[in-house]
A and B are shown apart, each in its own frame.
Chain A
Amino acid sequence: MSDSNPSASPRPVRLESLTVRYGAATACRDVSLAVPRGAVYALLGRNGAGKSSLVRCLLGQQRPSSGRALLFGEDAWRTRRRAMERTGVVPEEPDAPAAMTARQLSDFSRRLYPRWDAAAVAERLRRFAVPEKTPFGRLSKGQKGEVMLALALGHSPELLVLDDPTLGLDVVARRALCEEVVGELADRGTTVFLTTHDLAAFEGLATRVGILKEGRLAVDEDLEALRARFRRIRYSNRLTETRTAFGNELDAFDAVRVQVRGWGIDAVVSNFDEAAFERFRAIDGVENAEASAMPLEEIFVAIAGEAPAKEGAAA
């Protein structure tokens, strides 16, 4: 099972037409993506979009209904054990044995990984201020997440998979976790594949974004390119009586959402470019047109939040 591009070194993560079904329900449908070495891939999606199923397939913990997930160019289901030697995992729910302390967990992991760095783990736990001798089950949610991250990084993995790691964490714990990931990226250039709801926390880290919508991968591109093509455009129309009716003037931008406000039109477009915008401004009747960049969260809401629809009456 090798990567489909033999000339390049295998990508750490590759999904090929991955589909996961549970009986009649489909969690993921025909998802294909690839994460290059050193990238930080953020997979976004609403609850139930299929993110966790996809991560389980990626980690070789669940067999896809069709398609396949590749880790380092090999089928994750078949070669899970080997792939896990190079992968660190922080699950959505911290799942370490409740009776074991952080130190015991580190000792346990030391026997499994030849490159286990117990000192680095201990240092991280110290930085996180996690008590080493408290059973895992008695730690706070944030501390559990920190222990899981410390364990995930203990063998200097080439790939770090984070499944909604900040879920339920307070601001301080969230920031500490993100800083640790940033540090790891800075030190080692580890490839990161993460799923999250916490877009703000990882916006500065992600280099590439995927958005799952109803099981399908609606977006899969570099974050900068995504940001560049999404804009919020606000304008009014002096030719119409209400100044809020609109016609097909937004067609060039592939509007994903158009809302009518009291003062005019508020549209989110997915195919923005400056030249087209200048032509838009020159359209007779368009007044006060302005385009503003959007944070990732708003882009995500625009794509995954609602189906694209024009609201209000056509001009």
Chain B
Amino acid sequence: MKGFAAMFRREVAIHRMVFPAAAIASLIPFAVPPLRGLAGVAASEARVATAFLISAAFVYGLIAYLGATTLPRAISERRIGFDFARPVSAQAIWAAAFASALALGIGAGLIAWLPTALAERTPFWPDALQDFWQLGLPWPAAAGAAAILLFGAAQALSIGARSRSPVLLADLAAGVLAAACAALAIVRVGFTPVPSTTKIVSDAIIAIAAAAALAAGPIALARGRTDIRTTHRTLSIATWGIGFLGLLAVHAWISWLYLGGPKDLTQVVSAKPAPTGSWTLVGGTARGIYTTFLYDAASRRSVRLPRWASTVSFSASGGEAAWVEGTFEGPAKVWCIRLDGARPEPKVCATSPALVRMATLDPSGRRLAITREDALTILATDTGGIVASARLSPRPGPTEDWSPDSGFFVGDVFRLYRRENVHQGVSRMQVFDLDLRSRRLEETGSIDDLHGFPILSADREGERVAVVEMETRRARLVEGRSGKTIAWLAAEGASRRQLAFLADGRLAMLERAGSLVLRVFSRNGEPIRTIALPDAEQVRVGGEFLPGRVVVGVGFLTDQDIYAVDADSGTTRLVARHLVPAAGSWRLFDPPNQSLAPGAPGTRLFLAADETLVELDPSTGTRSRLLGEREGAEDRGRAGGIRP
């Protein structure tokens, strides 16, 4: 310690002239406001900004300069022998050089800042700069890390340049590789919508770089001493060794994050139950990564879906599923899985060089329909062979208002609903039937005069389709094959409208137009009953937990009161609070006919306000937590069920 103290004092004494230089520079901000080009800027702001720049220049300029000169020059000129001929450790020599650079830089920076700070009564860290700070590190930690990295980088570059060693080429290669590894780590977590994980990784990379700079310098000096080439070689080995080990640890940690299962879910934010059976698509945060699983609530088995999985489709039995993996631009893979096996393993059913807009299983799970921009293809899921395929003509008009294709199987026919591009805000939806036996594609009709994005719901037979326009909220019932309007269910004017077919073919429409009501329509779209519900901002129609009895969520987007509504008698009953029905949460991308069967397990699944997945029996009000932070724990909190 006495060696460090003596060396530190010596270095500060040698460079003490920076303090009067900073004192002189501190007067510059007071001369700035009258300068040309600063008209319109308040004198006070100009002074503070100038003083801050001068102060930062002193701090980081000195740290960089001293990092590049103090030790590297002494080593290359062998003057470091003077220090090594004294009873001082290499670590103390390095630490003193670093600490003195820090002290000189910070001291000079403060001196340069002080007059302006006193005159303007400004704190040492202008508030405005805090807003620009994006990393999330506390600013002293960030400034400290920057100082360490700057000193280390300046020292390493200077030693490398002075040694004129071929190791410099290896350094360049290692630097590029390390930057790529760091960028890859950010990318691996960067696309997850969980900023805290990205922040942890970015902070860890900064910490690794700082640790490498802090550790490699003393190690290199201790091993190289008066030999610049040995110092350089050791510095490289230590820096990249520590750096790559750290990055390896980061990547290992990220890989571990991606190995999380449903039991690791701390937040469940979406759930889509299969039409029947106990499998559910669950999305949420597990180990800090947004992840989707196929989860079997009965057996607790699970299948992790890839990061870019979308348009998940179940068979009618819930025993098969398919999804598309790929980015918006393509390429894409279509995965299929049999969920009733002992160890469900997904397999690739199809690959596509371009975006797959839709993937829909038939009720048996044996056939899969996929659409690209220019083609509709039906595949056999067990072999991957093409059952039928047809080219689709280009869509007219501009392409900016993208919407997914939609469709479903009706026996041996696949019925495709394909929206033509918008023309002055109005579009039409073409209806095609692809006959799997004749392999002929026929345009059978269209749904015309659509204003904005349409959401489709179909009955189980595919004979009738309910359409709600997102823009106008107009609702109509159309023939599934021709698209011809059977009945208008509602004109525009409501703020919310959601439609769902009941198992017996009736329609339930949740509508908020002044007040919130559930309207029940006959198969032909004739009004049968209107059931009043408490008004709320957000609503959701859930499944039929018993034939003719529907759960409805009323409240906010993620926190609703759950009502059991009897479509036959018109009675309503509050059964739970702080829940949202899981059914219907993927309505936008669901196959139109994939509503839950009455009494299916999925009708009892709810997302709780505390971001857990809850099973609730609407008949009895009993509930239990399935997934989320406290998996399997009995619900004793505010999200309690309400017994009848």
Binding site for B on A (CB under 8 A): 56, 59-63, 80-82, 84-85, 87, 89, 91, 93, 95-97, 99-100, 104, 108-109, 111-113
Given contacts A81-B89, A84-B84, A95-B78, 5 further A-B pairs with CB under 8 A are A85-B87, A91-B82, A95-B82, A100-B13, A112-B87
Name the B residues within 8 Å of A81 (CB-CB): 3, 87-89
Q: When the two chains form their complex, are residues B85 and A111 in contact, meaning their CB atoms are under 8 A apart?
A: no
Name the A residues within 8 Å of B230 (CB-CB): 63
Q: When the two chains form their complex, are residues B78 and A82 in contact, meaning their CB atoms are under 8 A apart?
A: no
Name the B residues within 8 Å of A87 (CB-CB): 85
Q: Which of A60, A81, A87, A100 has the most CB of B within 10 A?
A: A81
Q: In the bound complex, how far is the Cα of B346 from the Cα of A160, in angstroms?
A: 78
Q: Which of A61, A82, A97, A108 contacts B87 (CB 8 A)?
A: A82
The DSSP consensus for interface residues of chain A is loop
Q: A99-B14, A111-B5, A112-B2 are in contact. Are A59 and B88 (CB under 8 A)?
A: no
Q: When the two chains form their complex, are residues A84 and B85 in contact, meaning their CB atoms are under 8 A apart?
A: yes
Please list 7 pairs of residues, one from A and one from B, whose beta carbons are closer than 8 Å in the complex, sorted by A's number. Answer: A59-B81, A62-B227, A63-B225, A81-B3, A84-B88, A87-B85, A97-B79
Q: When the two chains form their complex, are residues B87 and A113 in contact, meaning their CB atoms are under 8 A apart?
A: yes
**B93, chain A: closest CB distance, angstroms:** 10
Q: A62-B226, A81-B89 are in contact. Are A95 and B81 (CB under 8 A)?
A: yes
**A235, chain B: closest CB distance, angstroms:** 50
Nearest B-chain residue to A56, judged by Cβ: B226
Q: When the two chains form their complex, are residues B10 and A112 in contact, meaning their CB atoms are under 8 A apart?
A: no
**B485, chain A: closest CB distance, angstroms:** 89
- Please tell me if B86 contacts chain A, counting CB pairs below 8 Å: yes
Name the A residues within 8 Å of B78 (CB-CB): 93, 95
Nearest B-chain residue to A88, judged by Cβ: B85
Name the B residues within 8 Å of A97 (CB-CB): 10, 14, 79, 82
Q: What are the interface flags for B3-19 relative to A under an 8 Å C-beta threshold, 1 for contact and 0 otherwise?
A: 10110011001100000
Q: In the bound complex, how far is the Cα of B266 from the Cα of A280, in angstroms?
A: 104
Q: What are the interface flags for B71-94 relative to A under an 8 Å C-beta threshold, 1 for contact and 0 otherwise?
A: 000000111111011111100000
10 closest A-B pairs by beta carbon, nearest first, are: A111-B6, A89-B85, A95-B82, A95-B79, A85-B87, A84-B87, A61-B226, A99-B14, A61-B84, A61-B225
**A86, chain B: closest CB distance, angstroms:** 9
Name the A residues within 8 Å of B227 (CB-CB): 62
Q: Which of B2, B80, B84 contacts A60 (CB 8 A)?
A: B84
Q: When the two chains form their complex, are residues A100 and B87 in contact, meaning their CB atoms are under 8 A apart?
A: no
Nearest B-chain residue to A110, judged by Cβ: B6
**A216, chain B: closest CB distance, angstroms:** 22
Q: When the two chains form their complex, are residues A61 and B81 in contact, meaning their CB atoms are under 8 A apart?
A: yes
Q: When the two chains form their complex, are residues A108 and B10 in contact, meaning their CB atoms are under 8 A apart?
A: yes
Q: Which of B2, B5, B82, B84 contacts A96 (CB 8 A)?
A: B82
Name the B residues within 8 Å of A61 (CB-CB): 81, 84-85, 225-226
Name the A residues within 8 Å of B5 (CB-CB): 111
Q: Which of B6, B9, B80 has the most CB of A within 10 A?
A: B6
Q: When the two chains form their complex, are residues A91 and B13 in contact, meaning their CB atoms are under 8 A apart?
A: no
Name the A residues within 8 Å of B225 (CB-CB): 60-63
Q: Which of B9, B84, B89, B226 has the most CB of A within 10 A?
A: B84
Q: When the two chains form their complex, are residues B10 and A100 in contact, meaning their CB atoms are under 8 A apart?
A: yes
Nearest A-chain residue to B223, judged by Cβ: A63
**B600, chain A: closest CB distance, angstroms:** 76
**B628, chain A: closest CB distance, angstroms:** 58
Name the B residues within 8 Å of A80 (CB-CB): 84
Nearest A-chain residue to B92, judged by Cβ: A81
Name the A residues within 8 Å of B226 (CB-CB): 56, 61-62
